[in-house]
Structure 1
Amino acid sequence: MAASTYARLGPSAALKALPRLPTPAYVYDLAEVRRNHALLRAALPEGTGLYYSLKANPHPGIGRVLAEGGARAEVCSSGELAAALDAGWTGAQMLYTGPGKRDAEIRTALRHGVRQFSVDSPHALDQLDRLAAETGVSAAALLRVNDDHPAPGQGLAMTGVSSQFGADLAWVLAEPERFAGRPRVELAGLHLYMGTNLTAVDALLGQFAHALASSRKVADALAAHGVRLRILDLGGGFGAPFARAGANADLTALRAPLTALLDADAPGWRDGTPEVMFESGRYLVGTSGTLLCTVLDVKRSQGKDVVVLESGINHLGGNSGLRRLPPLTPQLLHDGEPGEPMLDALVAGPLCTPLDTWSRNAALPALRPGDVVGVPNVGAYGLSASLIGFLGHPLPAEVVIDGDRPAVPATCTRLVLNRTTVSLQE
């Protein structure tokens, strides 16, 4: 971490909440979630829909704000289903995704009113048909398509490679009859997700154009088998800063060309046929979260400054268990004074392994045990994407504040500690 990446934490809402809160703590500002939702809605064509991907952050307080704002929920496990229900979504407002689903979780989803499922193969269609019949209901499927070629400018490739996600485009075009509906399952739409963490309008537009071109081919092939698609989920991949200071990219320039693209390639979408949907996780909630943690020790070792924090890869792994490359090096913010002596520090967490390291060359002020540092923009893929089970350290608190309601003191917000809700009092 270069010296220029160090910044002061300053009088943020997170630090104001600190005096009466335990650390470590993830602090989520609902006002930022509302702002991000409004920004993304302004970037998407009017009349399209938006799913919130709970994998980014399943906290029900965050979900409640997005549900109230009109977003639907995209879930991929029974745990996320429960979180979405707790946030106020109904099963009818959810899309259940994932490349492999157990019978038990599909039954649970159906019994809670979920009727839309993303499927990845003929077997998945058969499975959903069988379980819908057992449950005495009918369901709708969105066929996920793995395009033959990746779209340009992707962050993490989600298509055009061998994948558990979706049926290969060539397979669907060669055997469309295998992907038609079933007695209890309507093949209602397509699910195309090309890539993730894109921050450039041109890259986003390119992937949506690619997805629409493929959707036309699939729609034509399925039409010969009586399938009329009424839902088109184009995914998302809207990027956001992670564990570094910064703001979401302004994507409003996307709306006009994307609207024109839909007019050309998805005739009827303005009348809802097909209904066009997008998905987002990190763009909606990433900048809403700050991880606050206390310095446990500061020392010199082999000529190197060493700062040991109470949080490490167990609390902010950044999907470290998923071979994240490059390694995560969070930016540390501190409420120190300018001009303080600087450390060239190895920053480590409390785990009993040398792998629990955030940085080996962090430029930091002269921290002392008991000081508090913050990691910005970790509202997405923070706590729930980390190695929280490793070595059994307590989970951080999760604190919800609302910058749109400054008259409400932080001590009156809700604290979710180890997934148990506790009310804070003065």
Structure 2
Amino acid sequence: MTVKSAPRHAEMRQFSQRDNELIVGDLSLSTLAARVGSTPFYAYDRALVEARVATFRQLMPASLQLHYAVKANPMPAVIQCLAGLTDGLDVASAGEMQLALDCGLAPERISFAGPGKSDSELRRAAAAGVVINLESEGELRRLAVLAEELGCNPKVAVRVNPAFELKASGMQMGGGPKPFGVDQERVPAMLEELGQIGLDFQGFHIFSGSQNLRAEAIIESQNKTLELAINLAEYAPSKLRTLNIGGGLGVPYFPGELPLELDRIAENLDQLIALAKSALPGTELIMELGRYLVAEAGIYVAEVIDRKESRGTTYLVTNGGLHHHLAASGNFGQVIRKNYPVCLGNRLASEELEEVTIVGPLCTPLDILASKVILPKAQPGDLVVVYQSGAYGYSASPHLFLGHPAPQQVLV
């Protein structure tokens, strides 16, 4: 089907173009593909990551600490880059902890969260000296036994499951029954037990939700977070040194979504930090961000290997798909499938346009990268680009499904 014009995705202006090609890391996409050597691949633009952190720093209060949540993109080169740009790293497994330690960070700048830490992971974290976010009374008791065996006094924080939720959140991490953290009403008793055991108490981690594009919802959640921390601090065995207020800052993926109004959040944080200085003197406020720092700096690139017609629908069949990019296929939490923004990266514009559905090589109808999108007429060898792919792409996908090779990753 040939059409006269194609809608332009207003949000995909972070990458420039030259000679009708997408530019990534100052390289044309075709040059980058030749340098990588094969498709599919993920590419992350270092300058875009640096610019995102710089903009955040410029807007936010100077005393606000910025941590990178490694789970968003644990590629070692990306972690190394952000270790030098942020104030700390937050990890969710012993594997991620090792990647963070390999960056040369002081252990106290690394925090370890997760509701199912094994004894082996707790032992490794205690021996390394990272801050362990306790998720239950049972975890506290297991860590106490291990610490005695090791002859160390591990740094710990209590992850709190608040009674409130982050409204309009893409993924709820707090409020109601949750496997994450300790219900706020149980925290005072746990803090008393922690004091009796004598572990090195650092503070609280209160994380309500993620992928939120409503500034007013984030502001409300951050206000409630500080209020809760002030109340719980009365039961703490020692003064709070840190308060991790989580993240939740979203990025636009789908039509109709607008970028987050960060300046409004920054203005409110100015007031919260002033209140914290009075009510919780000496406490560092930490914002933990993953997706917000890296998502828009990354693309996924797959090559068209065939085009075919089926009862009025034109399919572009690529060598990439849900086994590489589960989120773009709609099978990573979407209730109703929506397209990530896509383009033909080696031919951004053309007078001849068509409506196509982009699929991968897998023998499943779920293997869809984009449905009914308008692009320049494509041929085998063209490069399909999926934007907004810097977070929860490579590492959140089932690479072993059907035995196809895994994609490559590059930071440029």
Q: Is this a same-fold pair by TM over 0.5?
A: yes
Q: Which amino acid is the alignment partner of residue 29 of structure 1?
A: D
The range that moved more, 292-301 or 339-348, is 339-348
Distance of aligned partners of 1:81 and 1:233 in 2 relative to their CA distance in 1, 3 Å threshold: same
Distance of aligned partners of 1:356 and 1:151 in 2 relative to their CA distance in 1, 3 Å threshold: closer
Q: TM-score, normalised by structure 2?
A: 0.87
Deviation, structure 1 residue 110: 2.6
Deviation, structure 1 residue 265: 4.5
Who is 2:341 aligned against?
A: 331
> Could you tell me which of 379, 385, 388 is aligned with 1:377?
388
Distance of aligned partners of 1:29 and 1:248 in 2 relative to their CA distance in 1, 3 Å threshold: farther
The range that moved more, 121-130 or 195-204, is 195-204
> Could you tell me which of 91, 95, 103 is aligned with 2:111?
95
Who is 1:56 aligned against?
A: 72
Determine if contact 1:243/1:375 at 8 Å carries over to the other structure. no
Q: Which amino acid is the alignment partner of residue 39 of structure 1?
A: T
2:170 aligned with 1:155: yes
2:136 aligned with 1:127: no
Q: Which amino acid is the alignment partner of residue 202 of structure 2?
A: A
Identity of aligned residues (%): 31
Q: TM-score, normalised by structure 1?
A: 0.85
Q: Which amino acid is the alignment partner of residue 83 of structure 1?
A: L
- Cα-to-partner distance string for 1:50-80 (whole Å, 9 max, x where unaligned): 2110000011211112211243110011221
> Could you tell me which of 183, 188, 194 is aligned with 1:168?
183
Q: Which amino acid is the alignment partner of residue 298 of structure 1?
A: R
* 1:384-423 alignment, distance < 5 Å: 384-401=395-412
Q: Which amino acid is the alignment partner of residue 255 of structure 1?
A: A
Q: Which amino acid is the alignment partner of residue 63 of structure 1?
A: I
Who is 2:224 aligned against?
A: 210
Q: Which amino acid is the alignment partner of residue 221 of structure 2?
A: Q
Distance of aligned partners of 1:328 and 1:283 in 2 relative to their CA distance in 1, 3 Å threshold: same
The 2-side partners of 1:333 and 1:28 are apart by 16
Determine if contact 1:48/1:275 at 8 Å carries over to the other structure. yes
> Could you tell me which of 260, 270, 274 is aligned with 1:263?
274
**Residue aligned with 2:7, SS:** helix
Deviation, structure 1 residue 140: 1.9
> Could you tell me which of 293, 310, 321 is aligned with 1:284?
293
* 1:168-187 alignment, distance < 5 Å: 168-173=183-188, 175=189, 179-187=193-201
Who is 1:66 aligned against?
A: 82
Determine if contact 2:244/2:287 at 8 Å carries over to the other structure. yes
2:20 aligned with 1:4: no
2:355 aligned with 1:344: yes
Distance of aligned partners of 1:146 and 1:345 in 2 relative to their CA distance in 1, 3 Å threshold: same
Deviation, structure 1 residue 328: 4.8
- Cα-to-partner distance string for 1:332-389 (whole Å, 9 max, x where unaligned): 2113364433332222111121211123322222111111121112111111111212
Determine if contact 1:212/1:266 at 8 Å carries over to the other structure. no
Determine if contact 1:39/1:250 at 8 Å carries over to the other structure. no
Task: Give aligned pairs, total.
Answer: 393
- Cα-to-partner distance string for 1:270-326 (whole Å, 9 max, x where unaligned): x6x112111000111111111111001101012211111111111111186653333
The range that moved more, 332-341 or 350-359, is 332-341
Determine if contact 1:232/1:275 at 8 Å carries over to the other structure. yes
**Residue aligned with 2:21, SS:** coil
Determine if contact 1:56/1:380 at 8 Å carries over to the other structure. yes
Q: Which amino acid is the alignment partner of residue 85 of structure 2?
A: G
